[in-house]
Amino acid sequence: MKLLIVESPSKAKTISKYLAGNGERYEVVASVGHIRDLPKSNKKAIDIEHDFAPHYEISKGKEKVVHEIEQLAKKADEVLLATDPDREGEAIAWHVAQAAHLKKPQRVVFHEITKDAVAEALLHPRSIDMRLKEAQEARRVLDRLVGYDLSGLIWKKVRYGLSAGRVQSPALRILMEREREIRAFVPETFWVISAETKTADKKPLPLVCSEEPRDKKEVERILALGQKNPWQITDIKETEVKRAPRAPFTTSTLQQTASSRLGFSPSRTMLVAQKLYEAGLITYMRTDSTTLSGQAIGQISGLVRKEYGEKYLEVRQYHTKSKNAQEAHEAIRPTSVARASAGHTDEQKRLYQLIWQRAVASQMADAKTLRTRVTANITSAEKIPDFTVNGSRILFDGWLRVDPSAQQDDVILPKVAAGDALTLVDMHTDEKQTQPPARYSEAGLVKELEARGIGRPSTYASIIKTLLDRGYVEKVDRALKPTDTGDVVSTFLENNFGHYVSDSFTAEMENELDEIASGEKEYVPVLSAFYKPFTKEIQKKSKSSKKITDLGPAPAQFKCPTCGAAMIIKLGKNGKFLSCSRFPDCTGALTLEGKEIATDKPIGTDPSSNFPIFVKIGRFGPYVQLGEMPKKVKGQKAAKPKMASIPKTKDPSTVTVEDALKYLSLPRTLGIDPDTGKEVVASSGRFGPYIVRDGDFRSLKTDDVYTIGLERALQILREPKKPRGFARKKK
């Protein structure tokens, strides 16, 4: 019996089918990803004094997997490790061998899970590549050292619970640099001038001024001359343009295209691609290579020739610039190009179609387009800027035949010649303002990280997910916008550790990790050269850097409504908030998304109690308050007024008295449980709305906390309670 070890159960299931009935008995088992990792405590994780030796522990819940592999290995005549064909896969194979005490295991590698590829790989086993394993280990140790030391300093100098990372922080810096450009942007007014004209045979020809004047007087001059003078065609240019197909997908380009065309986040794209790979439908999806194998090119060429004809075929081989691309030496492509559609879910089918189209199009002829530019002007001696219109017509669709979504509609212009007269129908202007640079989308950030050499194909999705999960950025209209917390953390790192979050340093570290993988550099010297100066810098900043929870004084117009003292901008759990410089419990006014909330003036009065109602900004976000805050009297403790949080989805500047009374209605007593005699209450807390009976708390996922009744609450309470940690594990 031969034991074949892979990472995922679905991969194991697919390979088992291929190996059944081939004359040899194979037992295929899954490690279910990594089976060992560094412990949470950095003191136990890495022995810095002894050559940065990592101390690994079997991951919680993986003891049974390790034991099963160990027992099966004892019965096996041969043990084969068939984990993914990259550094991560090589490291998993090594960890399995170490944890299960495997004797002389062999490593097999395939880049697609097909019967032929698996059979071919089994004919060429090798030993574990320790260079690839050490490159992955160096990345893991390096990330832990940077994250642990920088995060610890941020806890001391900014706020507990924040974090930094070797690659995450440079990515955040890129987003913040763009955000600062947006803040500093000063818009300018300009005008777009259009002219509606007709040709001699009465066909419409819309024209647009080639210049966009900033001066209103120039706009008026152009309009005046254009309306009182005759028009004519002054020039016609026709240009044949070729559009070459793009290279087959790499990890980066797949994430970018899936984002723009399908609306998938990078992490979603990789999850769906993983399923397609494990089902044997596509080649390995973590690669920065654009190369196709000779066999794949032959398959695609045959399909193009058969389905579209010889004129559509143009065989191409794309060359990869990255020196690290040999680790996964082929682009992402279908394992069988004969399958134009594949996948079990709608998401899988859509992503597969994208991969199929790109791979097939890469071996097709250029598309040819005829672009026409018509220029017109007045016949007066006093000239105005040219007015133009562009048209286009596809002469030969080429690769666009299989990728029609990349095709632009034809814009056919009426036939005209230079010197032809035009009749002016109307002229009009559109006043506009220049726009600041756009924020990065997820796809845009992936492209930027790749261009700057920050991270690698396998890390792009996790970088963005980490920034979102930690609350350093948020999605606004599909763009990544840094939060107040992200702003403070990035500014702190740029001011104190600018070298370590720079493009040059981060990209150079990636290159050194690549050189460990290729054998050009060694693990210990690379880590030593980095860590010694880095830890000195940490110690230096730890002593000299002041705590920056206080971000400075608020604008002068913001005064404490209670004592009139100046306000201070602070960093809280949910971002920036204002605090009285004399009494921390006081709050003033805060600008939220450009809307000023005057917290010292009531929005109305509670009709029941006649108490004023205020909208205020606290440490944990906006809230409503019923009644005035009592003045502090030494030696006396006064009851605070009732308060209630404003939902995150509600703009605080639009809260009405009716809204406030609704929020203040919590907690609501729904009634008595007839079975237990205990009171049932609905309320909202730190983790959202909930109901509770005698200490039994249940979160409300779909029910409205303000309208839920006793009968529905009892129904929820009778349902079996999910064990602690269920939601986290599910995620």
Domains annotated for the chain, with CATH where assigned, are 2-128 (3.40.50.140), 139-184+438-544 (1.10.460.10), 189-244+367-433 (2.70.20.10), 251-361 (1.10.290.10), 551-657 (no CATH), 668-730 (no CATH)
Residues 623-653: tens digit of each pLDDT: 889 988 777 666 666 678 888 888 877 877 7
CA–CA dist 640, 663 (Å, integer): 17
Give the mean model confidence (pLDDT) for residues 677-704.
87
Q: Is 249 left (phi over 0), alpha (psi -120 to 50) or beta?
A: beta
As given in the structure block, the two tokens for residue 378 are: 């007045």
The candidate with the shortest Cα–Cα distance to 161, out of 539, 686, 577, 571, is 571
CA–CA dist 563, 566 (Å, integer): 9
Three-point CA angle 498, 501, 502, nearest 5°: 80
Per-position b or e across 490-506, b if 16+ CB within 10 A of its CB: bbbbbebbeebbbbebb
As given in the structure block, the two tokens for residue 402 are: 């299989």
CA–CA dist 193, 221 (Å, integer): 12
Sequence-ordered list of residues with C-beta below 8 angstroms from that of 625, at least 6 positions apart, any chain: 613, 614, 615, 616, 641, 642, 643
Contact 457, 286 (CB under 8 A): yes
Give the mean model confidence (pLDDT) for residues 567-593.
57
**Sign of the torsion angle spanned by Cα atoms 609, 613, 617, 622:** positive
As given in the structure block, the two tokens for residue 111 are: 């880049």
Q: Which of 172-186, 533-547, 552-566 has the lowest mean pLDDT?
A: 552-566
Beta bridge partners of 189: 433
Greatest CA separation found in the chain?
Answer: 97
Give the mean model confidence (pLDDT) for residues 158-186.
90
DSSP per-residue letters across 288-316: ------HHHHHHHHHHHHHHT-GGGB---
Contact 178, 359 (CB under 8 A): no
The letter for the amino acid at 502 is S
Helix, strand and coil in the chain, % to nearest 5: 35, 25, 40
Residues involved in catalysis: 284
- Bridge-based pairing of strands 106-107 and 231-243 is unpaired
Q: Which residue has the tokens 């080429």?
A: 398
Residues 126-168: tens digit of each pLDDT: 999 999 999 999 999 999 999 889 988 888 887 778 889 999 9
Count of beta carbons in the 10 Å neighbourhood of residue 547: 9
Beta bridge partners of 559: 566
Percentage of the chain beyond pLDDT 70 is: 88
Residues 303-318: tens digit of each pLDDT: 999 999 999 999 998 8
Q: What confidence score (pLDDT) does residue 398 get?
A: 96
**Residue 289 DSSP symbol:** -
- Asked if residue 347 has pLDDT above 80, the reply is yes
Give the mean model confidence (pLDDT) for residues 366-391.
95
CA–CA dist 475, 50 (Å, integer): 44
Q: What confidence score (pLDDT) does residue 156 get?
A: 82
Contact 454, 465 (CB under 8 A): no
As given in the structure block, the two tokens for residue 269 are: 């794209």
The candidate with the shortest Cα–Cα distance to 440, out of 400, 410, 418, 468, is 468
Helix axes 9-19, 266-278, angle to 10 degrees: 20
- Asked if residue 730 has pLDDT above 50, the reply is no
* pTM for this predicted structure: 0.73
As given in the structure block, the two tokens for residue 183 are: 């803040």
pLDDT mean across residues, the chain: 88
> pLDDT-based confidence at 563, cuts 50/70/90?
low
Q: Is 105 left (phi over 0), alpha (psi -120 to 50) or beta?
A: beta
As given in the structure block, the two tokens for residue 575 are: 């971002």
Would you call 10 helix, strand, or coil by DSSP?
helix
Sequence-ordered list of residues with C-beta below 8 angstroms from that of 693, at least 6 positions apart, any chain: 673, 676, 678, 679, 680, 681, 713, 717
Q: What confidence score (pLDDT) does residue 721 get?
A: 76
CA–CA dist 222, 726 (Å, integer): 69
CA–CA dist 83, 33 (Å, integer): 9
The candidate with the shortest Cα–Cα distance to 356, out of 319, 294, 405, 408, is 405
- Asked if residue 385 has pLDDT above 50, the reply is yes
DSSP per-residue letters across 168-229: HHHHHHHHHHHHHHHHH----EEEEEEEEEE-TTS-EEEEEESS--S-HHHHHHHHHHHHHS
Contact 169, 494 (CB under 8 A): no
Q: What confidence score (pLDDT) does residue 402 get?
A: 96
Q: Which of 286-300, 339-353, 570-584 has the lowest mean pLDDT?
A: 570-584
